[in-house]
A and B are shown apart, each in its own frame.
Chain A
Amino acid sequence: MNQLSFVLVLAVFAASCVPPEPPVEFEEPRLRRLTEQQYINSVQDVFGTEIFVPTDNEPDTRARGLLQVGASSAAISPRGVERFEAAAYTLAEQVMSDELRASVLDCALSGEVDDPCAADEIARLGRLLWRRPLTDTERATLEALASSSSAALGDPNEGFQFALAGLLQSPHFLYRVELGTEDTQGRWTRAFTEFELASRLSYLLWNSGPDTELLDAAEAGELSTEEGLDIQTERLLAATRGREGLVAWFADMMHLAKLDDLYKDPNVYLHMSDTLGSSAAGESERFFEHLAFEQEADLRDLMTSRTTFVNREMAALYEVRAPAREGYGMTELPADGARRGLLGQTSFLALEAHPVSTSPTLRGKFVREVLLCQTISPPLADIDTAIPPVTEEAPTLRERVAQHLSDAGCAGCHEPMDNIGLGFENFDGIGRYRTQENGAPIDASGLVDEDAFADPTELASLLRVHDDFAACLVKSFVRYGGGQGEEEAQLEGLDWLHSAFSARQHSLKGLLDEYLHSAFFSQAGELEPVGPQDTTEDDSDE
């Protein structure tokens, strides 16, 4: 309670210097397909962590920089339907196995028509999986599936698998159905329902579905009250999964999932290994978690903090002592070293590079697009992109890419990227520190807009205070929470949230608190339902 009270006191204090929240309009609400991690979490929260969850059912896709936004436009392919169906039976079979059944079900099934145990369990598990109570018709259909399957197979536990599989491959499970309804409180035209707010909150904070208590709070109408929302927010943040959802936001923003497929030529990078990608992702996640949750620091310190977390592999790469024999330990990077902040970490340095070399362009582009939310046009067609070879006159990449910057046709787009990206040249394609390239000293100076820097630590300081950085964090957070990119009608609201975030010392908890009490969390956009369809016509197009 004390954390929240502190937050509330701050909110009152901050309210005096932040303008009132302006009205915003939102796009039509969209179904959000569970991401792979959400699918895993949602299943394990209901059935326990021992259960094996099949993955690779349908790849997540990225939009507006985030998988969480891609989830609002991605469909489910025929192969995806096939895999989700197979996964549903893999899960159902495990749940009904002798090992797991007793820990999931609260009663013993009889397999008879009108089996009260089957009815209760369908209602209870259905409410958790579909994140709302089932309608009478929905329950009746699943009960009929359970009893007829039990009869056909002569075993109530085998038969119940088919009801479970029905729950698990339903669109009500695979998509987050948050469509909104008429706002009964008169704040806006439309708002999300109590149960939809429960989902929005739990996926934001846990990256998983709501638990029974949260659904109960929704059922009691508590989530559309400020107090009720605060109580549940605090409870969710204090739970085991309490940091998982917001760390997932950070991981999504930083594209950390791509590190699973990190691909480097081991002949060039002797420190490359099969585990380097996941080691680097783990470092960045732990770094963020510590800074945002344990220190409750200014999020802009992501650029400059020298406190990070390394396992043995990362310690070797960074040439620091491994603080822990196993897993990650906290380490303080040398105060006079070039490496600090998120952009001194292998996660960024290796992802934004080629398999055999660095890429100032990719690194600069990432800073511009992901951290500053700026737009860089793709290269024009019919432009020769060749970089000249290493020569005695041009031993380092800086001299070689100088061509991009001297050619007026290239410079317009490349200068803003390369002038930042060259600042990371002290780090090779997997993030190892170096002072020379091909025997020549590396010059890591550059420019951020009009401001010159001499090395990566100065670059980090410039980015920390760049106007667009904090604003971009806010944009990314809102995109993540709502699953949509921002539109013109929200820009004023985003500016307001940015100033509220500033007034809260740029802390993650401040941003979360302001967001949850704003229209961004509870207001729904206009929806024009397509209405029922003639199903005979629909089925004839096979």
Chain B
Amino acid sequence: MSKTPSRRMILRGLLGGSAVAIGLPVLECFLNESGTALAGETSFPKRFGLFFWGNGTLPHLWTPEGVGQGDEWQLSEQLASLLPVKDRISVLTGFEVRVNNEIPHYSGAAGFLSGHAPLGEEGDNTFAAPSIDQVIAAEVGGQTLYRSIEFGAYPGGGLSYNGPNSVNPPESSPYLMFERLFGTGFVVPGDDPVIDPRLGLRRSVLDAVLDQTHELRARVGASDAARLDQHLSGIRDLELRLARMQENPANLESCALPSMPPSDDAIGTLSERHRLLVDLAVMSFACDQTRVWSDLFTHPVHNFVFPGTDAGQHQLTHDELDPQPMVNDTVKQAVDEFRYLVEALSAIPEGDATLLDHCAILATSDVSLGRVHALDEFPIITAGSCGGALKTGIHYRSETRESASSVMLSIVRAMGINAASFGGDDAMVTDGLSALET
């Protein structure tokens, strides 16, 4: 509670001119506030990642044979490329997203990721509630440089919402993502940060902006006040980040400066772009710059013409004749990107385990069968045990069309968040999916 006044005092003290005095003694008050220093932690932090692709699956080629653990079930046609990571994922089928399917593609994405039907009309929609990544980031995001990171191989879109009309736009340039996460100001573990008086000055400017925003907030109506609250929260995030950039980074063994990705025009394929982004995102977890990210390989209604197909993928889902061989191929390409992500997280050792073991990764789409925009048989895969909280290596099939929200509640709880429910209206659940929980 006393943090704000003391921080302001520090900033004003800084303005007195002794900028060089900025250093650890000052910054420890932030550290104390935010809690644990990583070096002193005995367990590794839990992270959440979302992998999303647009326009769904072909459910009859998606659902695995058999249910249970290990050899009791076999990967399906569309999931075949997950064989090397089968023991680290859980495939959950037969679930339903329980919102009115009024806005094809968007209702499913909003309904699953936020547990609420979207607001607005077709074409200018917004989530009505925060998406799961932000539900989690609200609890764990304050402990890292970045509350969350959003990225996507196919440019544009955005499915990470802080609340209505407040989307976190994804980064699609590996180069810019590198600059943001590992460019100026990034300190490799073991090195000391370069003391930069400008960081303190920037914080005092932000403090003035914060005051102006508060003053403006008092004069506007309720809906604008909600927008300015999002703005204020972003300003505070940035202030905190500038402070933390002068701290010594936690001594994380697996954190290393990744190599600089090629420029955007030198990237040939969507897959190459995606994997470059994933490599950076994986390292952002390893370096504990964030504990939450969302990865939009493609987004709902995207019309990218995949290699080996002869039309935009959205058009194919609607127009290609059964059995839709090209749609099948594009779904398999998306699943293979997910395999890459899971293997990349598994390749990073953390203690006796791997980074993946400390993650809850959720893979999903906006519909099941794209042709009819179906919300039953919703595609859901998890990866990683999230520090032992989630089962891996299983295929669980719901015979009762359970609410997909139950998976979300299990994940939120696995992240160590004491949530009573997930979602609203018909999509609200108060029980997680016990079959997924350990």
Contacts and interface: CB of A to CB of B under 8 A. Distances in A.
Interface of A: 28-31, 58-59, 61-65, 70, 73-82, 85, 89, 138, 141-142, 144-145, 148-149, 151-153, 162, 165-166, 169-172, 175, 177, 179, 261, 263, 265, 354-357, 375, 378-379, 381-389, 527-533, 535-536, 538-542
Given A152-B197, A381-B104, A79 B371 contact: no
A153 B197 contact: yes
A523 to B, nearest CB: 16
A54 B212 CA distance: 23
B213 interface: yes
Contacts of A177: 216
Name which of A73, A152, A166 has the most chain B CB atoms within 10 A of its CB. A152
The 9 closest A-B pairs by CB, nearest first: A81-B234, A78-B234, A381-B101, A148-B15, A75-B166, A75-B230, A152-B19, A63-B124, A355-B312
A529 B169 contact: no
B224 interface: yes
Given A59-B156, A177-B216, A382-B374, 9 more contacts: A30-B224, A81-B238, A149-B201, A153-B201, A162-B202, A171-B212, A175-B216, A381-B375, A529-B221
A75 B234 CA distance: 10
Given A356-B312, A542-B236, A75 B162 contact: yes
12 contacts: A31-B220, A76-B231, A76-B234, A78-B147, A79-B234, A82-B180, A145-B15, A145-B208, A148-B204, A152-B15, A261-B155, A381-B104
A151 B221 contact: no
A171 B216 contact: yes
Contact of B231 (A73, A81, A389, A527): A81
A75 B305 contact: no
A383 B212 contact: no
A164 to B, nearest CB: 10
B209 A357 contact: no
Interface string B204-238: 11101101111011111111111110111111111
Given A354-B315, A379-B104, A381-B375, A59 B221 contact: no
Contact of A63 (B120, B156, B202, B220): B120
B399 to A, nearest CB: 21
Interface in B66-83: none
Given A31-B224, A75-B165, A385-B371, A357 B214 contact: no
Contacts of A73: 126, 165, 223, 227
A385 B374 CA distance: 12
B233 A78 contact: yes
A533 B218 contact: yes
Contacts of A375: 121
A532 B228 CA distance: 13
Contact of B214 (A162, A379, A533): A533
B150 interface: yes
A145 B305 contact: no
Given A75-B166, A81-B231, A152 B124 contact: no
Interface string B320-363: 11100000000000000000000000000000000000000000
Interface in B150-194: 150, 155-156, 158, 162-163, 165-169, 171, 180
Contact of B372 (A31, A171, A383): A383
A489 B167 CA distance: 30
B238 A166 contact: no
A343 B225 CA distance: 41
Interface residues of B, number: 89
A354 B311 contact: yes
B401 interface: no
Contact of A379 (B180, B201, B373): B373
A443 to B, nearest CB: 21
Given A385-B371, A535-B4, A62 B311 contact: no
Contacts of A356: 305, 310-312, 315
A388 B231 CA distance: 49
A142 B204 CA distance: 11
Contacts of B312: 263, 265, 354-356
B202 to A, nearest CB: 7
A387 B317 CA distance: 11
B3 A70 contact: no
A80 B150 CA distance: 12
A530 B120 contact: no
A532 B155 CA distance: 39
Contact of A261 (B14, B156, B197): B156
Contacts of B240: 542
B413 interface: no
Given A166-B205, A261-B156, A354-B303, A530 B372 contact: no
Given A145-B208, A382-B374, A85 B214 contact: no
Given A73-B165, A527-B221, A382 B372 contact: yes
B311 A381 contact: no
Contact of A386 (B3, B166, B319, B373): B319
B426 interface: no
A530 B225 contact: yes
A315 to B, nearest CB: 28
Nearest to A382: B372
